[in-house]
Amino acid sequence: MAEKLLACLERNFERGRSGAQIKGRDFYDLLWFMQQNIQPLEEKLARDGQRPYTVDSAMFALQEKMVSIKIRNLAIYLLPMFESRQFIEAWLEAFHENFQAFVKGYLGNK
């Protein structure tokens, strides 16, 4: 999970002509980990990022980044990956709300 969290925070990615600057799969995977309450390895967060993170600092940084994430940019990457368009459209619609609910379980959890 730490690697996925770092990817969501630091990966620079551009897809197609749309210029989507995020990789939707990273965020899909991260929310799945969060939904399962999987804990990232602190050592990996501290060692492998462009700067050292703790779980709290990574989650706070991710909260800041989430404000700028547009659903249409996630959709560019995710829609073609799912056979059930209805499932992924519902997931996209609830993306920001679900993230805010899941992140509470990671802040100050020591």
Q: What domain range is 70 assigned to? A: 2-103
Kindly state whether residue 19 falls inside one of the protein's structural domains.
Answer: yes
Residues constituting the chain: 110
Alpha-carbon gap, residue 31 to 47, rounded angstroms = 22
Number of domains in the chain: 1
Kindly state whether residue 110 falls inside one of the protein's structural domains.
Answer: no
Kindly state whether residue 109 falls inside one of the protein's structural domains.
Answer: no
Global pTM value: 0.87
Kindly state whether residue 77 falls inside one of the protein's structural domains.
Answer: yes
Confidence of residue 16 (pLDDT cuts 50, 70, 90): low
74: left (phi over 0), alpha (psi -120 to 50) or beta: alpha
Q: What is the pLDDT of residues 29-75, one digit of tens each?
A: 999 999 999 999 999 999 999 999 999 999 999 999 999 899 998 99
Q: What is the pLDDT of residue 60?
A: 96
Q: What is the pLDDT of residue 64?
A: 94
